[in-house]
């Protein structure tokens, strides 16, 4: 009984005094120098269509900071944007997160990106935030209400797919194994549900709880980098933790995530038809990796799109 009480105090009581965030909501684009043009395009469409007051943050490695700063300043001078976004470096985010900066920056790019997305919760910049890939753009007016249900709960755009019954997307072997591995590391039941990528809305308090819980449940997993180093699926960690401990706090939405499955997925599941149905309802779309303006013309290209809304 005393051990259980101690666990509750250790995991939860500190957060009663740790909700002092600079913003209630924010948009976060984790990017790199090679994607500067895409980040600029993303920001311009966000500025054009966003009808709200939440800030936009661009996070990049320190070595790329000056290039981003110059490019955005030039866009402001040329009247292509109305105001500057907030620029933050990976190194700043990692320091706020208590991570070993050099170790994380030496990880594979896609793994380091996952760590940054999770670590942003520790900066106290935003209570809740939406992470955006650079090869994405907004396409119609929206405000923060699209991210919340009528009862005020934050929506999370994730594909919740059952490994037993299947779904729009089939679960591959690595994702199936990830579910098993994470359930063991977190010492939670494996619900056989898989949270596949997607544009997630993150809750900083819940991520902080995950951070502390993982360290308590498994002493070797006491950093976000160690979570990703063990099982490199940030949405799987987040989704399984929420599903276990906070199923009523957030609302999981179908993200209509089409990626990584190529032409086969389009043919087998006819996602191209589903895409057209979703297209008119979404507020944002992911562009083809070969297309700088978001145009696409083939079935193969449709498979590369991801939608919000």
pLDDT tens digits, one per residue of 216-227: 766 678 889 998
> Are 203 and 291 members of one domain?
no
Mean pLDDT of 168-177: 56
Range of the domain at 107: 23-141
> Are 251 and 265 members of one domain?
no
In a domain, 4, yes or no: no
Residue 127 pLDDT grade (very low, low, confident, very high; cuts 50, 70, 90): very high
> Are 248 and 267 members of one domain?
no
Number of domains in the chain: 3
Q: pTM of the prediction?
A: 0.79
> Are 38 and 97 members of one domain?
yes
Quick one: pLDDT at residue 254?
56
pLDDT more than 70, % of the chain: 64
> Are 180 and 233 members of one domain?
yes
In a domain, 17, yes or no: no
> Are 248 and 271 members of one domain?
no
**28 or 152, higher pLDDT:** 28
Please check the confidence at residue 185 and state whether its pLDDT lies above 70.
yes
In a domain, 14, yes or no: no
> Are 265 and 303 members of one domain?
yes
> For residue range 230-283, what is the model confidence (pLDDT) as tens digits?
888 888 888 888 878 888 877 766 544 433 333 333 333 333 333 333 344 566
> Are 77 and 95 members of one domain?
yes
Mean pLDDT of the chain: 75
* Sequential DSSP letters for 162-219: ETTTB-SSPPPHHHHHHHHHHHHHHT-----EEEE---PEEEHHHHHHHHHHHHHH-T
> Are 45 and 64 members of one domain?
yes
Residues in the chain: 309
> Are 35 and 127 members of one domain?
yes
């Amino acid at each position: 009984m005393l051990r259980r009480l101690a666990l509750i105090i250790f995991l939860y009581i500190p957060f009663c005094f740790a909700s002092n965030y600079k913003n209630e909501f924010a948009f976060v684009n984790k990017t790199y120098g090679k994607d500067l043009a895409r980040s600029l395009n993303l920001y311009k469409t966000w500025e054009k269509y966003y009808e709200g007051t939440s800030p936009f943050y661009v996070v990049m490695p320190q070595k790329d900071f000056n290039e981003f700063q110059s490019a955005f300043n030039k866009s402001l001078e040329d009247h292509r944007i109305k105001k500057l976004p907030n620029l933050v470096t990976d190194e700043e985010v990692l320091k706020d997160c208590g991570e070993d900066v050099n170790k994380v920056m030496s990880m594979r790019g896609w793994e380091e990106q996952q760590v940054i997305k999770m670590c942003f919760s520790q900066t106290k910049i935003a209570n809740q935030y939406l992470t955006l890939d650079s090869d994405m753009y907004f396409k119609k007016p929206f405000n923060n209400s699209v991210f919340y249900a009528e009862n005020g709960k934050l929506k999370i755009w994730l594909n919740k797919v059952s490994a037993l019954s299947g779904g729009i997307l089939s679960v591959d072997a690595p994702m199936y194994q990830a579910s098993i591995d994470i359930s063991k590391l977190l010492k939670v039941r494996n619900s056989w549900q898989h949270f596949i990528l997607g544009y997630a809305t993150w809750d900083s308090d819940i991520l902080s709880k995950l951070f502390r819980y993982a360290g308590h449940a498994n002493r070797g997993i006491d950093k976000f980098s160690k979570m990703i180093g063990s099982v490199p699926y940030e949405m799987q960690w987040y989704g399984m933790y929420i599903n276990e401990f906070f199923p009523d706090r957030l609302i999981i939405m179908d993200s209509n995530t089409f990626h990584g499955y190529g032409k086969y997925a389009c043919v087998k599941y006819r996602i191209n038809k589903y895409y057209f149905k979703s297209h008119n309802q979404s507020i944002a779309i992911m562009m083809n990796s070969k297309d700088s303006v978001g145009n696409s013309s083939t079935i193969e290209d449709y498979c590369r799109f991801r939608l919000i809304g």
